[in-house]
Chain A
Amino acid sequence: MTRTTTPTLPDESVLGSPETGPADFAPADFQLSVIVPVSRETESILHHHERHAAALAEFGPVEFLYIVDGQFPKTTSELEKLARDSDHTVRVLVFNQTFGDSAALSVGFKRARAPRILTLVPEAQVDPADLPDLVRGLEAADMVVAKRSSGVGGSVFGVGKMEWVLKRILQSPFADLRCRVRALKKEVGEEIVLYGHQHRFFPLLALRHGFKVVEKSVRPGGGTPPRDTNAPLDYSLILDVVTVFFLLKFLKKPFRFFGGFGLAVLALGLLATGWLIFTRLAFGTPLVDRPALILSSLMVVLGVQIIAVGLIGEIVTFAYTKDMREYRIDRIIE
């Protein structure tokens, strides 16, 4: 790797990275930033680093950002040693608590200094030989998502369950969202704020923001799959799907979602109540000794509640709409 003679980093304060020591590379020199969230003690981390670095050497100066998501002293000290020996191409950030992969990635995107970013996991999810292909894919797209050949690697519960659900309800075109190996342009990472478990749906969110996202087939690397630390897998998966469903479809028009449900329940309730009152008055059918009226009233109550909650959602959207423009301008020609 070439070293430049530029001694200063103009926006050092913006980057705010005291953990890096003096930087010898101007931001423009890095061709690729590799972001690796580390969420557990990983023994072979140096081994994987070497393989990744060797595979990506062709891109010129590559910076590695290791984000240690919590207290993992052994891995951290190994990484720190790596950073000291690395000509400042490796930086290590340590969270004092576990914040999750989404937070780690967001921090990484903010601090990455190259125009292109590759996100990895400290294991070999993908055969390192295929990594350059992903990065090269950025010439024709804003984001390139790795798709491992089916049946290998992947998750505890089998690849594709979540993808299947998402394909049905959101027309998601992605076959392997569990693979965290993704290449993207820096502006994609800067624009999209990830939180919770959203790193899983990053490609979907990028699509929604109007970026061009493509999938590329790669060979699996044979590593153990990353484990989700925060919740039992299936429960969090259901929550995630619901979240992303609402996020993608109804964030800007909540009442279209709530209103449909609420009006249906309310209409049913009103019809039932009306019928009960009508039969009581016209035919003297008693309301005693059965829960009919209470049930129908309950439906009316529920319907009104759903509607009212939807309207509150609409008010929130209205109050914040000036801050969150939905459209994204590609460019202005004038």
Chain B
Amino acid sequence: MSVDLSIIVPVYNEEDNVLPMYQAIRDAIAPIDREVELVFVDDGSRDRTVERLSELPRHGKPKVRIVKFRRNYGQTQAMMAGIDVANGKVLVTMDGDLQNDPRDIPRFLEQIEAGHDLVVGWRKDRKDHWSRVLPSKVANRLIGWVTGVPIKDNGCSLKAYRADLIKKIPLYSEMHRFIPAMSSLARPKIAEIVVRHHPRMHGSSKYGFSRIYKVFVDLISIRTILTFARSPLMWLSGLTMVTLLLTLFAAVSAVVFADTSYAGSSVVFAGVTLLFGALSLFLIFLAFLGQLIWGARSKSLAPFVDLAVRPAGREVQ
């Protein structure tokens, strides 16, 4: 039972926002002549969010579906559940706190139907405190540089996807801000559009400064996975090259110093040669191990080239 458009909204302790959110989305999609479902994912809220959600009209336009988690799993998991459950051909994700404006949704749909795989919102004029905006700007630059997918605003939840593509991208842990980067495995056509952004009305923001370490470490993981997925033997090759060069350098030093007045240094350099030599070997074997893991799984992981196959014609129906 598929519909044209699924709107996925993760909510966590948003009892006051549920009804305004629903009304705003309903009004925003009223002019669109498509079948629309609205998937709320309740991320283990402790307040009356679920009651409020189940009071909403279930079968109008949009159709409302509620996915209730057993406990709190975080925003990425909520979005993943929404993506897994949604029946639409086009999926739109957005925040449950009314900071995104549903009136932007028709433009997202337009962009997807014009042939893009992924449309990303850009909160050009953010209504947040500078202490949130500044780290986010730095993070976006860094993410763009490391992953090779320069997107101005990875943190914006308002995004639209071609369902075929996003359902096959493996997402895990707290990766929702890396979805564009991860989907770059399929070389998608990405569009960026400026969206409206509102300050929070109810409830409180759920992020803080402490994310910097996590984003930094996750970024290294993402980079590794992207390199690895494209070419399973390459992911450690850079590192291995460096250690091999160091080995070589230490070995040459050991030999050069051997017959000079620095003969003592020769012993030290020989030790260093052994250390880095061992490391190079370790890394090479680890690269083979990676290949082994990948080989064992390659059947169930569709080759990412497959994802890039687009429906014929320019229109995505």
Q: What residues of chain A have their CB less than 8 Å away from a CB belonging to chain B?
A: 209-211, 252-253, 255-256, 259-260, 263, 286-289, 293-294, 297-298, 301, 304-305, 308-309, 311-312, 314-323, 325-334
Q: Which of B214-229 contact A (CB under 8 A)?
A: 214, 217-218, 220-221, 224-225, 228-229
Let me know if B68 and A332 touch, CB within 8 A.
Answer: yes
Q: For the complex, what is the distance from the CA of A287 to the CA of B250, rounded to whole Å?
A: 13
- Cβ distance B269 to chain A, nearest Cβ, rounded Å: 8
- Note all chain B residues with C-beta closer than 8 A to A323: 300
- Note all chain A residues with C-beta closer than 8 A to B173: 252-253, 317, 326
Q: What would 20 more interface pairs be, CB under 8 Å, given A293-B272, A305-B279, A328-B70?
A: A210-B70, A210-B73, A253-B172, A255-B217, A255-B221, A260-B213, A286-B264, A288-B268, A294-B271, A294-B272, A304-B283, A308-B236, A311-B224, A312-B289, A315-B228, A315-B235, A326-B73, A333-B58, A333-B65, A334-B63
Q: For the complex, what is the distance from the CA of A289 to the CA of B267, rounded to whole Å?
A: 9
Q: For the complex, what is the distance from the CA of A327 to the CA of B10, rounded to whole Å?
A: 13
**The residue from B69, B80, B228, B268 contacting A328, defined by CB atoms under 8 A apart:** B69
Let me know if A298 and B275 touch, CB within 8 A.
Answer: yes
Let me know if A334 and B69 touch, CB within 8 A.
Answer: no
- Note all chain A residues with C-beta closer than 8 A to B84: 325
Query: CB of B239 within 8 A of chain A?
Result: yes
Let me know if B170 and A321 touch, CB within 8 A.
Answer: yes
Let me know if A329 and B272 touch, CB within 8 A.
Answer: no
- Cβ distance A246 to chain B, nearest Cβ, rounded Å: 14
Let me know if A319 and B293 touch, CB within 8 A.
Answer: yes
Q: What residues of chain B have their CB less than 8 Å away from a CB belonging to chain A?
A: 44, 53-54, 58, 63-71, 73, 77-78, 80-81, 84-85, 170-174, 213-214, 217-218, 220-221, 224-225, 228-229, 235-236, 239, 243, 262, 264-265, 267-268, 271-272, 275-276, 278-279, 282-283, 286, 289-290, 293-294, 297, 300-301
Q: For the complex, what is the distance from the CA of A153 to the CA of B233, rounded to whole Å?
A: 56
Let me know if B276 and A301 touch, CB within 8 A.
Answer: yes
Let me know if A288 and B262 touch, CB within 8 A.
Answer: yes
- Note all chain A residues with C-beta closer than 8 A to B58: 333-334
- Note all chain A residues with C-beta closer than 8 A to B271: 293-294, 297
Nearest-neighbor residue (CB-CB) of A252 within chain B: B173
Let me know if B276 and A315 touch, CB within 8 A.
Answer: no
Let me know if B70 and A211 touch, CB within 8 A.
Answer: yes
Q: For the complex, what is the distance from the CA of A252 to the CA of B174, rounded to whole Å?
A: 9
Q: For the complex, what is the distance from the CA of A325 to the CA of B217, rounded to whole Å?
A: 22
Let me know if A329 and B268 touch, CB within 8 A.
Answer: no
Nearest-neighbor residue (CB-CB) of B266 within chain A: A288
Among A263, A311, A326, residue most surrounded by chain B Cβ atoms (within 10 Å)? A311
Q: For the complex, what is the distance from the CA of A332 to the CA of B278, rounded to whole Å?
A: 54
Let me know if A293 and B268 touch, CB within 8 A.
Answer: yes
Among A260, A297, A316, A330, residue most surrounded by chain B Cβ atoms (within 10 Å)? A297
Let me know if A311 and B235 touch, CB within 8 A.
Answer: yes
- Note all chain A residues with C-beta closer than 8 A to B293: 312, 315-316, 319
Q: For the complex, what is the distance from the CA of A305 to the CA of B281, rounded to whole Å?
A: 11
25 A-B Cβ contacts within 8 A? A210-B70, A256-B214, A259-B221, A286-B264, A288-B265, A288-B268, A294-B275, A297-B271, A304-B239, A304-B279, A304-B283, A305-B279, A309-B286, A312-B286, A315-B225, A315-B290, A315-B293, A317-B172, A325-B80, A325-B81, A325-B84, A327-B77, A329-B68, A332-B68, A332-B85
Among A211, A288, A317, residue most surrounded by chain B Cβ atoms (within 10 Å)? A288
- Cβ distance B208 to chain A, nearest Cβ, rounded Å: 17
- Note all chain B residues with C-beta closer than 8 A to A260: 213, 217
- Note all chain B residues with C-beta closer than 8 A to A252: 172-173
Let me know if B275 and A297 touch, CB within 8 A.
Answer: yes
Q: For the complex, what is the distance from the CA of A284 to the CA of B267, rounded to whole Å?
A: 18
- Cβ distance B48 to chain A, nearest Cβ, rounded Å: 15
- Note all chain A residues with C-beta closer than 8 A to B174: 253
**The residue from B217, B267, B279 contacting A256, defined by CB atoms under 8 A apart:** B217
Nearest-neighbor residue (CB-CB) of B283 within chain A: A308
- Note all chain A residues with C-beta closer than 8 A to B78: 327
- Note all chain A residues with C-beta closer than 8 A to B218: 253, 255-256
**The residue from B67, B73, B225, B300 contacting A322, defined by CB atoms under 8 A apart:** B300
- Note all chain B residues with C-beta closer than 8 A to A314: 221, 224-225
Q: For the complex, what is the distance from the CA of A326 to the CA of B84, rounded to whole Å?
A: 13
Q: For the complex, what is the distance from the CA of A334 to the CA of B44, rounded to whole Å?
A: 18
Q: For the complex, what is the distance from the CA of A15 to the CA of B236, rounded to whole Å?
A: 48
- Note all chain A residues with C-beta closer than 8 A to B68: 329-333
Let me know if B70 and A329 touch, CB within 8 A.
Answer: yes
- Note all chain B residues with C-beta closer than 8 A to A301: 275-276, 278-279
Let me know if A305 and B297 touch, CB within 8 A.
Answer: no
Let me know if A319 and B301 touch, CB within 8 A.
Answer: yes
Let me know if A305 and B282 touch, CB within 8 A.
Answer: yes
- Note all chain B residues with C-beta closer than 8 A to A316: 293
Q: For the complex, what is the distance from the CA of A316 to the CA of B293, rounded to whole Å?
A: 7
Let me know if B217 and A259 touch, CB within 8 A.
Answer: yes
Let me know if B264 and A210 touch, CB within 8 A.
Answer: no
- Cβ distance B258 to chain A, nearest Cβ, rounded Å: 13
- Note all chain B residues with C-beta closer than 8 A to A289: 264
Let me know if B66 and A332 touch, CB within 8 A.
Answer: yes
- Note all chain B residues with C-beta closer than 8 A to A317: 172-173
Known contacts A259-B217, A301-B278, A315-B224; is A322 also within 8 Å of B77 by CB?
no
- Note all chain B residues with C-beta closer than 8 A to A325: 80-81, 84
Q: For the complex, what is the distance from the CA of A256 to the CA of B220, rounded to whole Å?
A: 10
Let me know if B70 and A332 touch, CB within 8 A.
Answer: no
Q: For the complex, what is the distance from the CA of A308 to the CA of B224, rounded to whole Å?
A: 10
Let me know if A259 and B220 touch, CB within 8 A.
Answer: yes
- Cβ distance B58 to chain A, nearest Cβ, rounded Å: 7
Nearest-neighbor residue (CB-CB) of B44 within chain A: A210
Question: Can you list the 4 inter-chain pairs with the closest CB atoms, starting with the nearest?
Answer: A210-B70, A288-B264, A210-B71, A333-B66
Q: For the complex, what is the distance from the CA of A289 to the CA of B264, rounded to whole Å?
A: 7
- Note all chain B residues with C-beta closer than 8 A to A322: 170, 300-301
